[in-house]
């Protein structure tokens, strides 16, 4: 069974939009299965976050949008997702495309 890259956030957040673009790009390349989910409005995301972050090791103090995890492995937010991309999919076109936003990572 394919593992799923999950990006949860609220749709007006630019970091959620960017992380969703990374996840969907990897999915188009066949690297992962992506689940990008907007919980709107923002208070709905914040409620989900407060109820669910304790289910992920290392996410207990995560308080920002987006919330990214791979199956049950917490990745972090948008910047953490890009670091994960560079480590796990360095040759993916998506990684190369988003590198312009992260020249120092």
Element (H, E) at 41: none
Q: What are phi and psi of 81, to 5 degrees?
A: -65, -40
Are 34 and 8 a contacting pair, CB within 8 Å?
Answer: no
**Count of structural domains, the chain:** 1
Q: Which domain holds residue 78?
A: 4-101
11-56: per-residue pLDDT in tens?
999 999 999 999 999 999 999 999 999 999 999 999 999 999 999 9
Between helix 14-28 and helix 78-88 the angle, nearest 10°, is 20
**Does the predicted TM-score (pTM) go above 0.85?**
yes
Rounded to an integer, the average pLDDT of 58-86 is 96
User: For residues 26 and 13, what is the distance between their CA atoms, to the nearest angstrom?
Assistant: 20
User: For residues 83 and 21, what is the distance between their CA atoms, to the nearest angstrom?
Assistant: 15
So what's the pLDDT on residue 103? Answer: 74
Rounded to an integer, the average pLDDT of 66-78 is 96
Q: Domain of 94: which CATH number? A: 3.40.30.10
pLDDT higher than 60, residue 89:
yes
User: For residues 81 and 54, what is the distance between their CA atoms, to the nearest angstrom?
Assistant: 19
């Amino acid at each position: 069974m394919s593992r799923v890259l999950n990006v949860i956030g609220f749709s007006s957040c630019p970091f959620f939009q960017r992380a969703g673009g990374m996840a969907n790009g990897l999915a188009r390349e066949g690297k992962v299965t992506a689940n990008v989910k907007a919980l709107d409005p923002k208070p709905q995301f914040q409620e989900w976050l407060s109820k669910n972050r304790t289910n992920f090791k290392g996410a207990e103090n995560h308080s920002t949008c987006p919330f990214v995890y791979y199956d049950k492995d917490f990745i972090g937010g948008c910047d953490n997702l890009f670091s994960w991309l560079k480590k796990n999919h360095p040759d993916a076109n998506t990684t190369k495309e988003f590198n312009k936003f992260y020249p120092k990572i």
